Each structure stands twice: as C-alpha cells, then as structure tokens.
Amino acid sequence: MLMIRSMVRPEKADLVLEGLLEAGYPAVTKVDVFGRGKQRGLRAGEVHYDELPKTLLMTVINDQDKDFVIKTVIERAKTGTVGAFGDGKIFVSPVDEVYTISSGVKGL
C-alpha cells in the first residue's frame, strides 16, 4: 500500500477530489495548510508573502494504482498546459499497515 500526499492550490482541490472520485478513489483526507516551495514565497510590490495557502489531499491506495492516481492528480491540479510555479507537489510513501478503528480489521 502507498500513501499519496498531494499539495495543490486551494482552487484546484475540488477538481482533484472530483477526479479521484470519478476514478474510483473516494477515500481522501483534505487539510488546509500553509507553506512555501523553492520560490520562497511570493512578492507583490513591497509585500512579501512568506507562506502561501495550499490544500493537502491524502489517500491510501494499492501499489498497482500509483501511476493512475498520480496522473489523475496532475491532470486536475496543473494550471495550463505546462503548469506553473506553485502548482504543488506529490509525495509517495509506503504504508506498512492500515486498520479500521470501528471493526479493528486490518487492510484497506
């Protein structure tokens, strides 16, 4: 199993969630976060925005679904045909075990 963490622009989050749902991946955790990437924030005239709003979407999937889920997120989160700075990042991490709290059952 893998955890896919997608940091996307807030205005793209609903499009990504819709795409994942349509693709058969309804289980997603959504968290509003703030941070900065390589561009070190944003400068507008004299004002420097050190931390920018992003939305963190987390989902746990089977290993064989990784490429499809990543493709879905990229297609829905990218701004324009080539994308832009600040479109976000996707992090993929292994998940050793998953348990459902209500039943105690192990697995997705």
Counted domains in the chain = 1
Q: Residue 47's pLDDT is what?
A: 72
Write out the DSSP string of 30-82: EEEEEE--TT-SEEETTEEESSEEEEEEEEEE-GGGHHHHHHHHHHHH--TTT
Predicted confidence at residue 94, as pLDDT, reads 97
Domain-embedded: residue 25: yes
Q: Which domain holds residue 25?
A: 2-94
CATH for 62: 3.30.70.120
Q: What is the pLDDT along the chain (108 residues), one digit of tens a residue?
A: 999 999 999 999 999 999 999 999 999 999 999 887 776 666 677 776 777 889 999 999 999 999 999 999 999 999 887 767 788 999 999 999 999 999 999 987
Q: 107 in a domain, yes or no? A: no
pLDDT of residue 82: 74
